[in-house]
Structure 1
């Protein structure tokens, strides 16, 4: 990942309210298209210009060729707020984040956690994140639905990891059950991405609990009942199961590893 600073200069008299609305609209459009990572952006006003530092999947993430229709519209809205299009200053590579995938994968998967800020679409060969703007728009010109699903998955993951309230059990069901709303939406998005990219795309189904290691190894695919989805060697040292019919990967319960 890479850190850049955007600087917005005024070309005429404006107001903080108008500038705030236009800049935040652009940042949200970038985020919905996967061009900007994270959820919160600190916009500062200093020496007559507005500045914000952003985390990008690649150095070229803000290139015009990746823009969604919403991003292009938001850029035009800057003019209405009496702001010039932003000037970009490259700060450097972020040492605390992952490197984006640059190779076409043989397969890919939807995989995230509450500690990940990167794209939830991963290269199945390396587990490196694939910038969402590198694939065709999933719905309505960008990837807002994928980002929303990721936010919901991470919220459930954080609740179940904290293990401090009754909400833990509801969150865990959303992450690990094939009949949950979270699974249904994510699995449908997986199918949409596979259709658009023509690359086999899988969904990671979280697993915790279970009676024993032996029982876990005999666990069938929860969606179709396939009893032969246990792999001889874990994929990427994480996924012990793969059902090619259902496009699901999963792990032996973390309680028994």
Structure 2
């Protein structure tokens, strides 16, 4: 992951004009997130003497390139420029070691929908290297323009994991993540189906397990799904896999 700093130079610091400028600036940053170009965490905006400095974290070195932009990032960037004393500047700060590195595989064989409460990266990981894949590498999921819906699912998942992790609402959070028929899991499997149709690559959903080992049959269809020594599906690096239901899982390691 890589840290950048945007510098925005407002033409006027008069309250009314500045409010409009700040709104457009914040919308631009928000659209970068909804387009998968930056992470929601680690954003920090500071008012300096003549400009606003906004630190952001991007999944790849070229994530902020125009080629990955969408209609909204372009529109709000233009709105910011209209009220700027000079064009915004983008400074490269350095590598960020607080977040997982992005996948560098040329052609992943399959993908996994995965998240957790401390997972700030893309909710889609490469099935071969288990590293996150930037969302802008995939077809858009929301209105043909961005990934707002998929990122909303990720927020819901992280909220459930936080409930489980903190012990408040532990049972509810665990059921949402472990039960393949929960609302959270059903929505996840819908996204897997959508992305599989759009990409032509298999998409699996990671089913979280904690309290005890998984049963030898898939919790959704009842068919055997043990992937002992990964002999059934050598490329799928999980203890359990159901190709029919597009589910993968690991046994707890304690």
- Per-residue CA deviation, residues 38-67 of structure 1 (Å, 9 max, x unaligned), is 246321111211111100001110111101
Aligned 8 A contact 2:7 2:51 in 1: yes
| Matching residue of 2:196 | 194
List aligned pairs for 1:75-224, cutoff 5 A: 75-82=77-84, 85-103=87-105, 104-140=107-143, 141-163=145-167, 165=168, 167-210=169-212, 213=213, 216=214, 218-224=215-221
8 Å contact from structure 1 (residues 13, 82) kept in 2? no
Q: CA RMSD in A?
A: 2.1
**Distance between the aligned counterparts of 1:96 and 1:116, measured in 2?**
10
Partner of 1:10: 10
| Cα distance in 2 between the residues matched to 1:223 and 1:171 | 19
Name the structure 2 match of 1:249: 248
Larger deviation: 44-53 or 75-84? Answer: 75-84
1:169–1:242 distance in 2 versus 1, CA, 3 Å:
same
Match of residue 74, structure 1, among 70, 73, 76: 76
> What CA deviation, in whole Å up to 9, does each residue of 1:224-244 have, x standing for no partner?
1112x1011258997210001
Distance 1:156 1:142, change over 3 A: same
1:226 aligns with 2:226: no
- Name the CA distance, whole Å, in 2 between partners of 1:18 and 1:187: 40
Q: What are the within-5 Å matches in structure 2 for residues 10-29 of structure 1?
A: 10-12=10-12, 15-29=17-31
The SS at the match of 1:230 is coil
Give the conservation status (yes or no) of the 8 Å contact 2:110–2:126: yes
* Number of aligned residue pairs: 247
Q: Contact (CA 8 Å) 1:8, 1:85: kept in 2 or not?
A: yes
* Equivalent pair of 1:7/1:86 in contact (CA under 8 Å): yes
Q: 1:138 to 1:85 in 2, by over 3 A?
A: farther
1:130-149 CA distance string (max 9 Å, x none)? 00001111121111111111
C-alpha separation in 2, matches of 1:186 and 1:151: 12
Residues 1:84 and 1:182: Cα distance change in structure 2 (over 3 Å): farther
Deviation of residue 76 (structure 1)? Answer: 2.3
SS of the equivalent of 2:227 reads strand
Instruction: Note the residue ranges of structure 1 that are not aligned, 5 or more in a row.
Output: none
